[in-house]
Amino acid sequence: MDVVVVESPAKAKTINKYLGKDYKVLASFGHVRDLPAKDGSVLPDDDFSMSWQVDTASAKRVKDIAEAVKSADGLILATDPDREGEAISWHVLDLLQKKKVLKDKPVKRVVFNAITKKAVLDAMANPRDIDEALVNAYLARRALDYLVGFNLSPVLWRKLPGARSAGRVQSVALRLVCDRENEIERFVPEEYWNIVADLKTVRGDAFEARLVQADGKRVQKNSVKNQEQAHRIRDLLEGATYSVASVEAKPVRRNPGPPFTTSTLQQAASSRLGFSASRTMQVAQRLYEGIAIGGETAGLITYMRTDGVSMAPEAVTAARDAIGDQFGTRYLPESARHYSVKAKNAQEAHEAIRPTDFTRTPQSVKKYLDADQFRLYDLVWKRGIASQMASAEMERTTAEITAAKGGESAGLRAVGTVVKFDGFLAAYADNREEKQPSDEDDDDGRLPEINQGENVDKDKIRATQHFTEPPPRYSEASLIKKLEELGIGRPSTYASTLATLRDREYVTIENRKLTPEAKGRLVTAFLENFFNRYVEYDFTAELEEKLDKISDGSLEWKQVLRDFWKDFFAQVEDTKELRVTNVLDALNEALAPLVFPKREDGSDPRTCQVCGTGKLSLKLGKYGAFVGCSNYPECNFTRQLGADAEADAANSNEPNELGTDPETGEPVTLRSGRFGPYVQRGEGKEAKRSSLPKGWKPEDIDLEKALQLLSLPREVGAHPEDGKMITAGLGRYGPFVLHDGTYANVDSIEDVFSVGVNRAVSIIADKRANGGRRRSAPAALKSLGEHPEGGGEVTVNDGRYGPYVKWGKINATIPKGKDPQSITMEEAIPLLAARAEKAGVKKPAKKAAAKKPAAKKTAAKKTTAKSKTASATKKTTASKKTSAEAEKSDS
């Protein structure tokens, strides 16, 4: 019997069925070890030696693999067919060699691009050795990401409080988003006019023609600059006679695009399905690993981490057969289509993403898939089969029309496009799915019959004013496309890079557009001023090229690290001499449009409008940067960085008066401080203050709402059991009710003002009955099944602080941005293991026959174990305290 090691348990189960009883397939659950987030994991002075750490969960899996190998005939490493997969195989092999369980047993490496029986059996028949060049490329990337993250992030913490991390690819992606925002802010709209004539043929058929020539000059989109020019041309056209100067109809062929790569799939899923990059990869992973169809599990798509656009010859043949069967021979080109990659630094070692079986149409498998899986598979299947179909044939008709009035003339053009043969467009239920930016005239439709030399009649002339618009903010799709064009990062890591930017709160995503937060722009400005080389697009792309050369064996990986580290370390050392005032001066200059926007009255935007003499500047506090006055503490004006500063006085600690409290006669004001907007009654240290609750906007606050907030905490009534008062208020963790030291959260701030005694008593009773929780544990959103280690099922739940996975007494938070409904067992297990290790929680025990324990001995062991766990946890916490935010990996 041979032991086969794959990455995921879902894949292991399927592959074991294919291979049979002569093989035992075990899962590594991804990487089995990594560089610990502490100083010394990579030692440049020791020729970049690397110290690896196996976490608790992985140690158990490696032990299981080692035990199985002891009694096996050989080891087959069948992890994913990419650099990360090669690295996992290398790690597993290295650990097994150190355990001395392999001895002289044969070790083989196999890869399969799809989880189908044929693909797996073919791979098993063609083993190879571990690709050392790919492993070296992984080691170089991992070391670089560690060195950048672990050395640059602490610089940010010291010089820029509130900043969380920097990374080799992450910071360059953030710079792209920030540079686009700078473009938008600098953009000055320009006026232009469009002039269109609604015309009719002598037979009464209507069509429209656009102005293309006036005053003997060609008219482009922005040529007509103002109303005067537009009206002069309109007056000419109003009184002109129109004749058709020429009519030309010519055939146009439109070819299909290649099958999907990782990045083009992410782009298409974003623009057409509204999926984030990470969501796309999660769904694609399930389609790749396999879906149960008719009692058998099979992978529906090939491996989803690739930048190749070619399909295997047998897949091309299968696609052509399916085209002939499903669409007819008219849709089949004479010869197969071949594609090449245009993206910078692309490697074509793997196939494109395609269906594993083209006869398995989306509709035929719909009942086995959830909604997201079906939509993504539909996208992949259509793109894959369309890539081998015939071109679409169209006819584009262009009519040139002359407008003459006296000695003046103008030229207009009417364009119509007609699809003569739909070709590959037939693969799409909605042809608009494949519309490309260059096809802007394709929707003009068919022109009526127009003959050269005939006159046409004017119906109406339309002159409309427009203004140029700034470049759009990046979406996830367009940012991925830009990164790929520049050759920055690898397609397989774009999803995690974007997730990191969002989780670090460097960007927000609203309406699928990426907007840099003030914190993100601050970090970018700092890096551009003090680490400019390492956020340059060309430098990052050149480093990416070197890493690719390591992959093909043409460059020595440690030499790349030596060359990088020499200059980078010197730059890091130089920043130790930086004074905070130097940093602030540079940031004040770089971020002036954001920090000190122009004022409507034309006054100096850096002059404090509260005291009138102080100068505004960035300040650094415990929670990050803010804007403050140089006359502090005499002038206590502050403003959050990035807040609307057009009216500093209104948004500052200078009172924005809302009215007078009728009971006390004191003024009630709205202010903005370092931690956000708040209301205040009175002046001085004794003034009553209240922050605005979540969801309340400063512009909506009036005297009535301010007085409501300032009246808190509110007495609800006496508790019927002990007579002690129940109060309701707004605290650090939101709205609450309080009785005898027990706080219980309520659903909204409105409840604070309306909750009665009976409901308050019930809420507090629930909190006490559930060990400090407001309500009993919520029902599970879904069950992931029995944990592989036993101890009960793993469930996905939704709690007060967000979704989490639960196993026994272990609750592990699901990462921000991750859809709880999509999480799988293999994703949940590492989260639970990490949580158990961090909290020192004992894992649920497997069910076993009851035994009579020796009470005293057991108790003593438990006490000793508990003290050891507490000690280990304390040490681990201390060692990780300064490094927790170091960037783990960008790419």
H/E run at residue 285 = helix 277-289
Interatomic CA distance for residues 447 and 205, integer angstroms: 9
| Beta-bridge partner residues of 688 | 681
**Cα–Cα separations (whole angstroms), residue 727 to 714, 721, 749, 774:** 5, 15, 13, 16
What sign results for the dihedral spanned by CA atoms 182, 184, 190, 194?
positive
3-state helix, strand, coil in the chain (%, to 5): 40, 25, 35
Closest by Cα among 721, 754, 752 to 736: 752
What sign results for the dihedral spanned by CA atoms 635, 637, 641, 646?
negative
Q: Structure tokens of 766?
A: 């629930």
Taking the CB of residue 778, how many other CB atoms lie within 10 A of it? Answer: 11
Buried b (16+ CB within 10 A) or exposed e, 435-471: eeeeeeebebeebbebeeeeebebeebebeeeeeeee
Interatomic CA distance for residues 479 and 174, integer angstroms: 10
Regarding beta strands 23-27 and 2-6, do their DSSP bridges make them parallel or antiparallel, or are they unpaired? parallel
Q: Which of 18, 146, 303, 506 is catalytic?
A: 303
Torsion of CA 729, 734, 737, 740, to 10 degrees: -90
What sign results for the dihedral spanned by CA atoms 370, 373, 376, 382?
negative
Closest by Cα among 383, 437, 114 to 269: 383
Regarding beta strands 74-77 and 49-50, do their DSSP bridges make them parallel or antiparallel, or are they unpaired? unpaired
8 A C-beta contact, residue 735 and residue 751: yes
Question: Alpha helices of 721-824 — where are they, by DSSP H?
Answer: 749-754, 757-769
Interatomic CA distance for residues 648 and 599, integer angstroms: 9
Question: DSSP code of 216?
Answer: T
Active-site residue 804, yes or no? Answer: no
**Cα–Cα separations (whole angstroms), residue 837 to 830, 842, 884:** 10, 9, 15
Contacts of 236 (CB under 8 A, 6+ apart): 214, 403, 405, 408, 410
Q: Structure tokens of 183?
A: 């473009």
Interatomic CA distance for residues 565 and 44, integer angstroms: 8
Contacts of 7 (CB under 8 A, 6+ apart): 27, 28, 29, 30, 79, 80, 85, 88
Closest by Cα among 169, 178, 163 to 591: 178
Interatomic CA distance for residues 343 and 354, integer angstroms: 19
Which residues are annotated as catalytic?
Answer: 303
